[in-house]
Amino acid sequence: MVLAESFRAKNPVQAHPGDKIYISILRATREDLRSGVSDVCPVFGGNRSAAPDPTHACPGFEMAMGVLLGVVYGVVESLPSGAIG
């Protein structure tokens, strides 16, 4: 058995080998936004350029952000003129 702290909570929870642990990325990012943190790295498993890099940080972070930016640009470009702002 391992004691693990629940996300930003004071009460530890018991985790046993083989237990499934679910992490709510939505809740984590909302808590960050409420605290004034606008970093998107938690969505990608952490900041891979940090030293040491998180174990599950996505090596395709920059490529994924480029794809998302391209999709947003394509959607905005396809709107009729004057539709935004």
Say what the pTM is. Answer: 0.53
Percent of the chain that is helix, strand, coil (3-state, to 5): 40, 10, 55
- pLDDT, mean over the chain: 80
Q: What is the mean pLDDT of residues 78-85?
A: 81
Instruction: Give Cα separations from 62 to 8, 24, 38, 72 (angstroms).
Output: 28, 23, 16, 15
Q: What is the pLDDT of residues 23-49, one digit of tens each?
A: 777 877 888 888 888 888 888 888 888
Q: Where are the domains of the chain?
A: 2-78
Give the span between the Cα atoms of 75 and 31, in whole angstroms. 29
pLDDT band at 8 (very low <50, low <70, confident <90, very high): low
